[in-house]
Homo-oligomer: A and B are copies of this chain.
Amino acid sequence: MEQNKIPQATAKRLPLYYRFLNNLQMQGKTRVSSKELSEAVKVDSATIRRDFSYFGALGKKGYGYNVEYLLGFFRKTLDQDELTDVALIGVGNLGTAFLNYNFTKNNNTKIVLAFDADPNKSGKEIGGVPIFHIDDLEEKLGNVKVAILTIPATEADRVTERLVSKGIKGILNFTPARISVPDDVRVHHIDLAIELQALVYFLKHYPLDTKEEVL
């Protein structure tokens, strides 16, 4: 676990940087400054420099950063070379969106199997990912450590418990339920309804002419 001194706020921005550096490279750019990158990813340039500095001196004064070098560095740091298997639980509209989305491109994660309670869906495939019945979760899950939860909120607790007891260590939870897990399991909540409400709240209650970007 090498550098656990990296602030979480920084860690969350790393994949974003990585993706934009990839874009730059594909555009044939060889160098980039924190200022340019700042405009592209909408993060303050001082913040970008600070973020990078946690990994050492990656740039060159008066020059900026070498795209190729930086990209190579982040590839290692973000473990882009090893693919992490992911299970998708719940093949509704949202789940289907994930299956069709080609995560593996520019990404170190891959959805390798999916589950759904609808028997009509089991046995089929979407985006090359096989779908199994939720009853077969324990049997089929194998050694997958990360799950995306796109099921009805009412099922969240029960399914989470099964996932956890099968050894899942990370859950990306799209249900409105706030699930309970042991201390060694990490949950990220993405609550679409709340995001929308928060946006509306900010629109109505916060001054509309600052440059701040929230979230």
Residues in A lying within 8 Å of B, measured CB to CB: 1-4, 6, 8, 11-12, 14-16, 18-20, 40-42, 78-79, 84, 86, 92-94, 96-98, 100-101, 103, 106-109, 145-146, 148, 169-170, 172, 176, 178, 180, 183-184, 186-211, 213-215
Question: Given A204-B1, A206-B4, is A178 in contact with B15 using a C-beta cutoff of 8 Å?
Answer: no
Pair A178/B42 contact, Cβ less than 8 Å:
yes
Pair A200/B103 contact, Cβ less than 8 Å:
no
Pair B205/A11 contact, Cβ less than 8 Å:
yes
Q: Specify the main secondary structure of chain A where it touches its partner.
A: mixed
Pair A187/B209 contact, Cβ less than 8 Å:
no
Pair B100/A201 contact, Cβ less than 8 Å:
no
Could you write out 8 A-B pairs with CB less than 8 Å apart?
A: A11-B205, A15-B193, A18-B197, A19-B194, A79-B204, A93-B100, A148-B196, A183-B211
Pair B94/A200 contact, Cβ less than 8 Å:
no
Q: Find A2's partner among B93, B145, B196, B205 (CB 8 Å cutoff).
A: B205
Pair B193/A188 contact, Cβ less than 8 Å:
no
Question: Min CB distance, A155 to chain B, in Å?
Answer: 16
Q: Report B-chain residues with C-beta under 8 Å of the C-beta of A92.
A: 97, 100
Q: How far is the CA of A32 from the CA of B64 in the complex (A)?
A: 55
Q: How far is the CA of A191 from the CA of B184 in the complex (A)?
A: 25
| Residue of A2, A200, A201, A206 with highest tally of chain B CB at under 10 A | A200
Q: Report B-chain residues with C-beta under 8 Å of the C-beta of A202.
A: 8, 11, 170, 186
Q: Report B-chain residues with C-beta under 8 Å of the C-beta of A201.
A: 11, 14-15, 78-79
Q: Report B-chain residues with C-beta under 8 Å of the C-beta of A93.
A: 93-94, 96-97, 100
Q: How far is the CA of A128 from the CA of B71 in the complex (A)?
A: 46
Pair A1/B206 contact, Cβ less than 8 Å:
yes
Q: How far is the CA of A11 from the CA of B8 in the complex (A)?
A: 21
